[in-house]
Amino acid sequence: MSNPLQVKLPESLKGKTILVAGAAGFVPSTLAQFYLDLGAQVIGLDNFITGSRSNIEILKGYEGFEFMEWDISKNLPDFSGRTIDFIFSLASPASPIDFKTIPLEIMQVNSMGTQNLLELAKEKGARFLEASTSEVYGDPEIHPQVESYVGHVNPIGERAPYDESKRYAEAMTMMYNRRYGVDTRIVRIFNTYGPRMRPDDGRVIPNFINQAMNNEDITIYGDGSQTRSFCYVTDLVQAIHTVMFSEDSTPFNCGNPDEYTIKEAAEFIIDTLGSKSKLTYHPLPSDDPKKRRPDLTKLTSISDYSPQVSFKDGLIKTMEYFKTLK
Ligand code: NAD
Ligand code: UDP
């Protein structure tokens, strides 16, 4: 039974300071804007390895926003004398293409970068949230995935730089919680899409939308029977916000449980966008998870979270965003 009273979401965050690592990115910039709208002061850090300066320009429209160009893997800016109430550890490239092109940078930000932020949380007495991922479950043997499942990850595969460093980040977060009493949260984010994604980041939704918009061939990897469950970005931000204001330091799945095969998603996008594109089939990347859907029982049992944006509406909003980039 759901019990919304277990999470009391604040109506305003006036007077609070929030640090967002990765603020120029797709999810982090949307989250930063959400907190600016709630009246918080937001400090953004980013080295632009996959983020965009235009996302920072949007945030700079708010008086409460401050940005520092910074690689958090090395160290952090000097925050001595400053209060920080909440830290969001969201800096990490997240597209499977990045796993091949910048694997070391991914491993460094999720290990050293996460630890640097945890040290800051310890020093400031800030609450800390780690953005983990459904990838910690690897190619899952149970479906849908529950938080108690410990995963099925290939530690030497092409996805390992991301999967294993996110698993390490979770371990580091729990270690700071147990050993130093840092007030931590962990979210395991499932496939999220929406405006501010890079149109060429190689993930399935930007690829299919751009191909459909241009009536080009849709590139299905494998036979298209693998599944994913797609969450619109504002729904994800609401889920992350709910976990940050819960009292539970163990991991929460965050996403949308509506599951599609990749072929169904391609057909849905062609249909929704009124495209003339045809399906084409290409080799499946190694270790590509065959099924993925979040079990959201844990999150919905402590809150009234439920995704609000349909796949159709989310696709249209994302397409409109991609059109503005042309
Ligand atoms: P993104 O690439 O758009 O955002 C990540 C941001 O982190 C970028 O702006 C990048 O420049 C920045 N960054 C990376 N390394 C850095 C460093 N060393 N120092 C400073 N900044 C650095 O990716 P996203 O999809 O918005 O993902 C955001 C977070 O959510 C990531 O931690 C990712 O692993 C997690 N996540 C996302 C999804 C998803 O579907 N989008 C799924 C699971 C987990
Ligand atoms: N995929 C696809 N065509 C593309 C891009 C991706 O068929 O042009 C598939 C990919 O093989 C995977 C799924 O879509 O099975 C989701 O891929 P994505 O890169 O978005 O994220 P993942 O969930 O694999 O991290």
- Kind and range of the H or E run holding 116: helix 114-124
Instruction: Please say if the pLDDT value at position 31 is more than 90.
Output: yes
Q: Which atom of ligand 1 is nearest to the CA of 189?
A: 43
pLDDT tens sequence across 51-82: 999 999 999 999 999 999 999 999 999 999 99
Q: Which of the four pLDDT bands, split at 50, 70 and 90, describes residue 8? A: confident
pLDDT tens sequence across 102-123: 999 999 999 999 999 999 999 9
Q: Left, alpha or beta for 72 (phi > 0: left; psi -120 to 50: alpha)?
A: alpha
pLDDT tens sequence across 267-277: 999 999 999 99
Amino acid at 305: Y
- All residues at 6 or more sequence positions from 283 whose CB lies less than 8 Å from its CB, including other chains: 221, 222
Ligand 2 pocket: which of 204, 216, 261 to mutate (most atoms within 8 A of CB) = 204
List domains and CATH numbers for the chain.
17-193+232-257+294-308 (3.40.50.720)
Q: Which of the four pLDDT bands, split at 50, 70 and 90, describes residue 326? A: confident
- What's the pLDDT at 1? 45
Q: How far is the CA of 210 from the centre of ligand 2 (A)?
A: 14
Average pLDDT for 111-139: 98
- What's the pLDDT at 287? 95
pLDDT tens sequence across 151-184: 999 999 999 999 999 999 999 999 999 999 999 9
Q: How far is the CA of 113 from the centre of ligand 1 (A)?
A: 12
* Percent of residues, the chain, with pLDDT higher than 70: 98
* Percent of residues, the chain, with pLDDT higher than 90: 96
C-alpha span between 132 and 11 (Å, rounded): 26
Q: Specify whether the CB–CB gap between 36 and 59 falls below 8 A.
A: yes
Given the structure tokens 């993925």, which residue do they identify? Answer: 292
Q: List the catalytic residues.
A: 162
Work out whether the CA dihedral 173, 287, 98, 32 comes out positive or negative. Answer: negative
Strand ranges for the chain from DSSP E: 17-21, 41-46, 65-69, 86-89, 127-133, 184-189, 192-193, 218-221, 227-229, 231-232, 252-254, 259-261, 279-282
The partner residues of 89 in beta bridges, in order of sequence, read 21, 130
Instruction: Please say if the pLDDT value at position 136 is more than 70.
Output: yes
- What's the pLDDT at 3? 54
Question: In this predicted model, which residue has the larger pLDDT, 309 or 4?
Answer: 309
Q: How far is the CA of 225 from the centre of ligand 2 (A)?
A: 11
Give 133: exposed, middle or buried? Use CB within 10 Å, 0-12, 13-18, 19+.
buried
Which of 1-5, 49-53, 256-260 comes out lowest in average pLDDT? Answer: 1-5
- Is the full-model pTM beyond 0.85? yes
pLDDT tens sequence across 205-257: 999 999 999 999 999 999 999 999 999 999 999 999 999 999 999 999 999 99
Closest to 70 (Cα-Cα) out of 54, 85, 86, 56:
56
Given the structure tokens 């499946």, which residue do they identify? Answer: 284
Average pLDDT of the residues of the chain: 96
C-alpha span between 253 and 189 (Å, rounded): 6
C-alpha span between 79 and 74 (Å, rounded): 15
Lining residues, ligand 1, CB within 6 Å: 22, 24-28, 45-51, 70-73, 90-94, 109, 113, 131, 133, 189, 191-192
